[in-house]
Structure 1
Amino acid sequence: MDRLTQAVRQQLGLGRLLPLGGAADGAWITEHAAVGALRRAASAALPGARLGTVRLGLADPATAVPAAVPAPPSALPAGPLRLTADFAATVDEPLPAVAGRLRAALWSAGAETLGLDLDAVDLRATALLDGPEAVGSTEAMTAPERQADAESGAEAGTESGAEAGTESGAEAGTEDDGSAARVVRAVPGVARLAPVLGGPAHAVRTRDRTDEEPGRHTQVQIAVTEGRCALDVTAAVREAVAVATADGAPGPVTVAVVVTAVDPVGRAAR
C-alpha cells in the first residue's frame, strides 16, 4: 500500500473530530478514540450486550458555534452531540431494560469521563444473542472500527511511525516544539504524545500567525489515560502549553488540543 493511500485510509479511520466541552475549551477528540472508550465502558457495564455501529455528530448543526481558538482542519464546531448506536443483547433481560442501562453507561462515559456535550443517546436493538458464547462470537462483527484499525494502523498503541516520529520530529528541527512537548508529557492524565493528524512528526506544533492577525498558536495531539476526564486533561494541557509558549509571542497565545487515543489503564507508556 503506497504512503498516500495509507494516509488517506488512516484519516478516514479516525472519523470526525468531535468537540470536547464548549467553544471556549479549544479541545477535540477523534471519533475513533471516543467510540473505543465508549465501547469499553459499555462492555464493562453490560457484559451481556455488544455495541454495533456507533456514531457521534452534532445534534443540531444550525446551533453550533466556532471554537474560540483556531480549530484543526475538518474539526466540528462546538455544539451538543447526538450519539446513535446499534446493539445486540442476550434474552436474559428485557430489551428496554438493557437499553436503559446501556444508555446510562454511554451517557456517563461520554459526558463525565470524556467531556462530550451529549444532547441525546439513541439506541436500536438489532439482534438477540443466545448466551455469553454468542456475545463473544459477535464481538468482531459489532466493532466495525477495528477493521479501519487493522488497515490504517490508527489504533492507539500500534507500532506505527506516528509514535516514533514524535521524538525524532522534536529533535530534528521540524515544526514540533520540543520544550512544549516536555511540558505536555508532565501533565497528569497525559498517557503519551500521539500524533496522527498532519503527519507523524507533529505531536506539538507551534507557529506564529499572520501580521493581519498576530499571535502564536500551538496544536497538541495526545493520548489520555482511561479513567481521567479527557476534557479536564486537555484544559490542563492548554494552560501549561500557553505558559510555555508565551515568551516572545507576537500577540495572543492560543492552544488547541486533540485527543487521538484513550489508553486503557495498564498500557505501557512509550
Structure 2
Amino acid sequence: MAGDQLVTAVRRQLGLGRLLPLGGPADGAWIAERAAAGVLREVGDAVPGLRVGTLRLSLADADTAPEPAVPSPPSALPPGPLLIEADFAATAGRPVPASAGLLREALLAGAAERLGLEVSAVDLRVTDLLDEDEEKERAREKERDEEAAGGSGGDASPGGAPGAGGATAGDAGPLEAAVLRVPGVVGLVPALGALSRPVRQEDGHVLVQLAAAPDRRTLDVARAVRGAVEEAAGGGPVPGSGQAAGGERPTVAVLVAALGPPAAS
C-alpha cells in the first residue's frame, strides 16, 4: 500500500511539471509549470499565423537565484527570473523573424500580465511552416468553438491539476475557509501527493495548494491568499508590527497547482 501511494505521489507531481517561482523572493508563491505553460501556449496561439508546440519554463540563471522569504514547497525552484523555451510553427506569409518577435512579445506580456511571472529571456525555435488556408479554417473553427462555449456557460481552464480533487467551503477548517473566501480562488487541491492536505500547517509554516481563476492575475490571488492565511492563523493583524493579535504570525507559502476548476479525482 505504501509503495502504491508513493508511485501515485510521484506521478501526480510529474504531471504538474516544475514548481516555478511566482513573483519575487518576498512573494512566497509558486505555480505549477503545467498551469503556467497552458496559459502561455494559449496566449501564443492567439497570435494570427502562429501555433505553439512544446513550451517549457525554467530558471534563467539557477546559480544566482536568491533564497525565498518563506520555506518553499518540496522540490520547488528558488525565486529568480525565468527562461521560456518554445517551439512554434508559422505561416510563410510573414518573415520568420517577425513571427518570432510577435510571439516573444505575446509570451512576455502574458507571463507578466496574466500570471505575474518574472521572465528575463525567451528562446524560440521555428519547427514547421503552416498552410495558410488550413490556418484560416482553424481560426474559424476556434471562433465557432468559443461562441458555442460562451452560449453553454463553458469555462476556459488552460491548466488543470492532474488527478486532484477540490475541497469546498462545506468541509473546510478555519484556514481552508479563509483561503476559499479570497476572490480568485476556485478550490483547494492536494496536488503534492506526499502532502495530502491542501492546507498544511506545521512548525509555524503553512503551505496552501489551490486552483485559481484564469481570469485574474495569478500572483495577485496568491498574495491575497497569503495575507488571509496569515491573519486567520495568527488571530488578526496588529497594525505596524510583524505579529498577530493571537500570537506569532506564521510563514505562508502558496502553490497554484491549477488555473480553472480542479480536475475530478
Matched, 1:43 2:40: no
| 1:1-270 map, 5 Å | 3-44=5-46, 46-131=47-132, 133=134, 156=160, 160=163, 162-163=164-165, 166=167, 171=171, 178-199=173-194, 201-207=196-202, 209=203, 216-247=204-235, 251-263=248-260
Contact 1:163 1:200 in 2 (8 A): no
Note if contact 1:60-1:80 (Cα within 8 Å) is conserved in structure 2.
Answer: yes
What CA RMSD, in Å, does the superposition of the two structures yield over aligned residues? 2.8
Whole-angstrom distance in 2 between the partners of 1:203 and 1:20: 18
| d(CA) in 2 for partners of 1:7, 1:73 | 12
Q: Deviations over 1:161-189 (max 9, x none)?
A: x315x359x95xxxxx7111111111111
Aligned counterparts of 1:180 and 1:23: Cα–Cα separation in 2:
23
User: 234-243 vs 127-136, which deviates more?
Assistant: 127-136
Q: Residues 206 and 249 from structure 1, CA distance in 2 versus in 1: closer, same or farther, beyond 3 angstroms?
A: farther
Residue range with higher mean Cα deviation, 111-120 or 124-133: 124-133
User: Kindly tell me: are residues 234 and 94 of structure 1, through their superposed partners in 2, closer, same or farther at Cα, counting changes over 3 Å?
Assistant: same
Q: 1:24 to 1:132 in 2, by over 3 A?
A: farther
Displacement after TM superposition at 1:232 (Å): 0.8
Query: After superposition, what is the alpha-carbon deviation per residue over 1:39-63, rounded to whole angstroms, capped at 9, x for unaligned?
Result: 111122x142111111111111111
Q: 1-side partners of 2:106 and 2:72: how far apart?
A: 30
CA separation of 1:84/1:196 partners in 2, compared to 1, >3 Å: closer, same or farther? same
- 1:268 and 1:64 mapped to 2: Cα distance? 31
2: CA distance between counterparts of 1:94 and 1:180? Answer: 53
Relative to the length of structure 2, the TM-score reads 0.79
1:141 maps to which residue?
none
Deviation at 1:134, TM superposition (A): 6.3
Letter paired with 1:253: P
Identity %: 51
TM-score computed with the length of structure 1 as normaliser: 0.77
- Amino acid aligned to 2:42: R
Deviation at 1:194, TM superposition (A): 2.3
Distance 2:125 2:76 in 1: 27
Cα drift, residue 10 of structure 1 = 2.2
Using the TM superposition, give the Cα deviation of residue 223 of structure 1 relative to its aligned residue in structure 2, in angstroms.
Answer: 1.3
Deviation digits for residues 230-255 of structure 1 (CA, Å, limit 9, x no counterpart): 11110000000100001397644111
Question: 1:48 touches 1:132 (CA, 8 Å); kept in 2?
Answer: no
Q: Which ranges in structure 1 are unaligned for 5 or more consecutive residues? A: 137-154, 172-176, 210-215
State which drifts further: 124-133 or 16-25. 124-133
Distance change >3 Å, CA 133–CA 9, structure 1 → 2:
farther
